[in-house]
């Protein structure tokens, strides 16, 4: 029973996407529980600033050294070798795993030694006890790149075998580990317990996947050959991707560094708002692109250009069909979302207003992170890592410049400060500087999306733009009507029920959102949106037959 459960395979992109979407959505819900516990326990203050600041560099290391290899090289190279020889493919993976694991350990040990200098650069606004605490947490968290790096390489291999269910469970267990850290470790060890919760989450992440890896045919071999042609090709292919990912992660590091010089709580507010918006990224874009990537990669290897572009068009339209209305729902119901998810304990009214404002700005731009992820992975499937990497570097530079400029403008311009106060309904909140960071982040996302779309069309001019535009028109019409019904429902409920209690806000959020979703689905059906038919027929009907 357990063997069958862990060894289950998905037969189609649609069923795999549904499995991943449900699992990632559940993981995101656990992430919301995690953030609610963090906000209630610490509030948007110095301790939570330290926690998020300590996270940045370990995440950076994992991204550039491992995640880049998975997306850009491991899956395509392993898939190519599997077509020729299973033994050769497994030997390649075993050698690669050993080389990268050894390299990760060496890098993380060096970084642990130099953590004080790293904190001085990444959080220049920290000093005294706050800086010492950040150093301690970051040193503990440097264990996570080693564990998560190995685990995510395993995830990439399992995706080749269409074992998406077990790989989708891993992020869920990762969040569970962090929650255990908040509930059980923090009362005993203080803020340090958060860091150990992250490590525990990493352990859970890898343990759930190991059985499926061995069921797939993997036999570990202690072979350390850095000159293996597959290993060398992986390094060559991952380098541009790693530079691009590193550039993207520099966004987070730069924002953290700038936010550390602002009022206490700025780092926490930005991260909490970004986490609330990124639940969409995990539930939709990550699930769809993860499921589609191996198939798109194989289509490109077979030189089937028509199938490659057909898959691109279908997935692109599915993403905008789901993300556009949901981003508008988040915008309309942002205050209710923040109050329901984070409004507890030490998270006070000032924190709520500021996080709500940040979430509103991020919601307006929510489509961009989804499309950036999908377009980048499409280039990787086509064995082109340079274009998304170069664009990523350009937009990171743009984001850093805009962040510094907007934060400066808020400080020196009373007019701009008052404008933001009024438009975002901040009601006299003092910590408005963080809004400049969110605005810069959103503008850089728009720029990156536009550049990726332009380069993709230039590279693949035969893409079916007509059917994409036709779908987009229907989506915008349905979304506009949905917004009207959602807003009216929200206002009516505000007059009928008490909004001074958690239950009242929760009812307003659920009913307003439910009306919006129902109206959007009904209009999509009336307009005969092909994406709705794909989701209802392909996903739901195939889900019951998606395992073997």
At 5-23, the pLDDT tens digits run: 455 555 555 555 566 667 7
pLDDT at residue 478, rounded to an integer: 96
pTM: 0.82
Q: What gap in Å lies between CA 444 and CA 368, rounded to an integer?
A: 9
Query: What are the pLDDT digits (tens) for 285-319?
Result: 666 666 666 667 667 766 656 777 887 888 888 88
Cβ neighbours for 82, distance < 8 A, ≥ 6 positions apart: 89, 160
Q: Could you tell me which residues come within 8 angstroms of residue 157 by beta carbon, excluding any fewer than 6 positions away?
A: 74, 75, 78, 93, 213, 216, 218
* Contacts of 302 by beta carbon, 8 Å cutoff, 6+ apart: none
Q: How confident is the model at residue 367 (pLDDT cuts 50, 70, 90)?
A: confident
The dihedral formed by the CA atoms of 450, 453, 456 and 458, expressed in degrees to the nearest 10: -70
* Band (61; pLDDT cuts 50, 70, 90): confident
Show the tokens assigned to 263.
């009022």
> Given phi > 0 = left and psi -120 to 50 = alpha, else beta, which region is 130?
alpha
Q: How many CB atoms lie within 10 A of CB 99?
A: 18
C-alpha to C-alpha distance for 184 and 197, rounded to whole angstroms: 9
Lowest model confidence (mean pLDDT) among 130-144, 452-466, 531-545: 531-545
Contact 370, 286 (CB under 8 A): no
The pLDDT tens digits of the residues spanning 121-132 come to 999 999 999 999
């Amino acid at each position: 029973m357990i063997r069958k459960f862990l060894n289950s395979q998905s037969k189609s992109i649609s069923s795999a996407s549904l499995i991943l979407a449900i699992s990632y959505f559940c993981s995101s819900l656990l992430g919301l529980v995690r953030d609610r516990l963090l906000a209630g326990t610490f509030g948007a203050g110095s301790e939570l600033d330290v926690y998020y600041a300590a996270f940045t560099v370990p995440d950076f290391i994992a991204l550039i050294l491992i995640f880049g290899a998975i997306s850009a090289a491991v899956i395509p190279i392993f898939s190519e070798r599997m077509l020729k020889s299973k033994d050769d493919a497994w030997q390649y993976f075993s050698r690669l795993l050993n080389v990268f694991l050894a390299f990760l350990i060496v890098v993380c040990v060096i970084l642990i030694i130099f953590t004080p200098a790293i904190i001085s650069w990444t959080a220049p606004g920290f000093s005294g006890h706050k800086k010492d605490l950040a150093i301690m947490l970051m040193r503990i968290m440097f264990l996570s790149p080693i564990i998560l790096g190995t685990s995510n390489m395993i995830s990439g291999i399992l995706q080749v075998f269409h074992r998406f269910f077990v790989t989708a469970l891993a992020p869920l267990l990762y969040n569970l580990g962090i929650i255990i850290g908040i509930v059980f470790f923090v009362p005993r060890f203080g803020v340090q317990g958060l860091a150990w919760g992250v490590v525990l989450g990493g352990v859970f992440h890898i343990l759930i996947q190991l059985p499926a890896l061995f069921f797939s045919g993997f036999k570990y071999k202690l072979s350390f050959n850095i000159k293996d042609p597959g290993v060398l090709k992986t390094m060559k292919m991952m380098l541009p991707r790693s530079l691009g990912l590193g550039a993207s992660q520099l966004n987070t590091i730069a924002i953290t560094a700038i936010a550390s010089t602002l009022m206490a709580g700025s780092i926490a507010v930005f991260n909490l708002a970004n986490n609330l918006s990124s639940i969409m990224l995990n539930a939709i874009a990550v699930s769809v692109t993860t499921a589609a990537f191996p198939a798109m990669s194989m289509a490109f290897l077979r030189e089937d250009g028509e199938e490659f572009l057909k898959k691109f068009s279908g997935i692109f339209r599915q993403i905008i069909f789901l993300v556009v209305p949901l981003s508008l729902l988040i915008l309309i119901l942002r205050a209710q979302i923040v109050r329901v998810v984070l409004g507890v304990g030490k998270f006070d009214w000032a924190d709520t207003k500021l996080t709500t404002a940040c979430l509103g700005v991020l919601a307006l731009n929510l489509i961009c992170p989804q499309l950036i992820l999908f377009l980048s992975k499409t280039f990787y499937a086509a064995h082109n890592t340079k274009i998304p990497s170069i664009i990523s570097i350009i937009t990171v530079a743009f984001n850093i410049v805009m962040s510094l400029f907007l934060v400066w403008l808020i400080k020196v311009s009373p007019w701009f400060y008052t404008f933001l106060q009024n438009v975002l309904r901040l009601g006299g909140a003092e910590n408005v500087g963080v809004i400049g960071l969110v605005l810069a982040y959103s503008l850089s996302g728009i720029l990156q999306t536009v550049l990726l779309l332009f380069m993709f069309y230039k590279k693949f001019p035969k893409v079916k733009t007509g059917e994409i535009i036709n779908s987009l028109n229907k989506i915008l019409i349905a979304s506009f009507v949905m917004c009207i019904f959602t807003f009216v429902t929200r206002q009516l409920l505000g007059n009928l029920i008490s909004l001074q209690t958690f239950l009242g806000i929760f009812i307003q959020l659920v009913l307003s959102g439910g009306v919006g979703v129902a109206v959007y689905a009904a209009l999509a059906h009336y307009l005969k949106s092909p994406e709705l038919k794909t989701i209802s027929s392909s996903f739901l009907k195939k889900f019951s037959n998606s395992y073997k």
